[in-house]
């Protein structure tokens, strides 16, 4: 796991994070009924390259695109293609970039036009659980203090937290140790120290937490067909408040 040793390293990670965050902002504005997920992917790729960065997911274990686009009951790792977004859909978009050897990773779920109250609430719960979790992302705490707070919040709101996919350390690699579950008992895992950088990325299902992978070997969906949402930021541990590196 990376422990940032200098302000210079932190600055580069912030710049990488900002590019990822701006990509999501640009995509949020482009989302509308009728646009294909491939068109969104193109927009993302052009923007990232224009900033002198590279899409981190493209080519990763053979993933063919810049972003992951996961619609409705799709949880994560959806592949952009010719599917057109429809009014009432929700779409989770995950963006990773690498700049000067450092990675930034962020994701969020967006409504397409007017969506159901249930979908709106799920998006809100997913964002909120991330912020409940990072209250514990402080020097001296244990890693799973974050995990536990996320699960507690999600379940208190009648949703479930995905077990099969977890967050990760991030820095000079997209996925570094430790794995960061978004569930489980507190007080376990490494003690957090200044300079650690974590990608915390809860995936929340409206129904049961069980998921499965489709035949494309990438797209993960809920087994019960219920809606799913995703929210992720790259977060640095400091002497005080955690610092979110993937903010616009
Ligand atoms: Mg991630």
- How far, in Å, from the CA of 29 to the mean position of ligand 1? 22
Mean pLDDT of all residues in the chain?
Answer: 97
Distance, in Å, from the CA atom of 225 to the CA atom of 228, rounded to the nearest integer, reads 9
211 pLDDT exceeds 80?
Answer: yes
Angle (nearest 5°) at CA 212 between 211 and 215:
155
* Range 4-28 average pLDDT: 94
Q: Are strands 211-213 and 90-99 parallel, antiparallel or unpaired?
A: unpaired
Nearest alpha carbon to residue 49 among 70, 24, 19, 4: 19
CATH 3.90.230.10 fits 7-244, yes or no: yes
* Max intra-chain CA distance, the chain: 48
* Res. 38 pLDDT band, cuts 50 70 90: very high
Alpha carbon of 233 to ligand 1 centroid (Å): 8
Mean pLDDT value of segment 85-111: 98
**Residue 111 CA, ligand 1 centroid: distance in Å:** 21
- Calculate how far, in angstroms, residue 66's C-alpha sits from the geometric centre of ligand 1: 13
How many residues are recorded in the chain?
248
Look-up of token digits 């057109």? 84
Q: How far is the CA of 209 from the centre of ligand 1 (A)?
A: 18
How many angstroms is it from 178 CA to the middle of ligand 1?
Answer: 12
H-run or E-run covering 127:
helix 117-134
Provide, rounded to the nearest whole percent, the portion of the chain with pLDDT above 90. Answer: 97
Q: What percent of the chain has pLDDT over 70?
A: 100
Nearest to 209 by CA among 146, 149, 166, 145: 166
Q: Whose CA is closest to 235, among 17, 12, 1?
A: 17
Ligand 1 geometric centre to CA of 94 (Å): 8
Give residue 217's pLDDT.
Answer: 96
* Mean pLDDT across 102-131: 98
* 42-79 residue pLDDT tens: 999 999 999 999 999 999 999 999 999 999 999 999 99
Has residue 3 got a pLDDT over 90?
no
Q: What is the pLDDT of residue 116?
A: 98
> What is the CA angle 23-29-33, rounded to 5?
120
The answer, yes or no, to whether residue 2 has pLDDT greater than 90, is: no
Q: Band the pLDDT of 5: cuts 50, 70, 90.
A: confident
- Rounded CA-CA distance 231/242 in Å is 17
């Amino acid at each position: 796991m990376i422990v940032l040793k200098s302000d210079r390293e932190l600055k580069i990670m912030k710049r990488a994070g900002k590019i990822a965050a701006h990509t999501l902002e640009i995509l949020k504005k482009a989302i509308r009924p009728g646009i294909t997920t491939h068109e969104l992917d193109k927009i993302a790729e052009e923007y990232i390259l224009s900033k002198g960065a590279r899409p981190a997911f493209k080519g990763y274990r053979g993933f063919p695109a810049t972003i992951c686009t996961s619609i409705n009951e799709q949880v994560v790792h959806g592949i952009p293609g010719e599917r057109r977004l429809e009014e009432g859909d929700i779409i989770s978009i995950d963006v990773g970039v690498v700049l000067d050897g450092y990675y930034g990773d962020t994701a969020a779920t967006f409504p397409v036009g007017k969506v159901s109250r249930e979908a709106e609430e799920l998006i809100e719960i997913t964002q909120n659980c991330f912020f409940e979790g990072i209250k514990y992302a402080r020097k001296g705490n244990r890693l799973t203090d974050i995990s536990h707070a996320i699960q507690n919040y999600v379940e208190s709101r009648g949703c479930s937290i995905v077990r099969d996919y977890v967050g990760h350390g991030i820095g000079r690699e997209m996925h570094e140790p430790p794995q960061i579950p978004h569930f489980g008992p507190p007080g376990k895992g490494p003690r957090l120290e200044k300079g650690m950088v974590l990608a915390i990325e809860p995936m929340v299902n409206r129904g049961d937490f069980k998921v499965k992978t489709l035949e494309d070997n990438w797209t993960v969906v809920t087994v019960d067909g219920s809606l799913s949402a995703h929210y992720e930021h790259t977060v640095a541990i400091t002497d005080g408040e955690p610092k979110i590196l993937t903010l616009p």
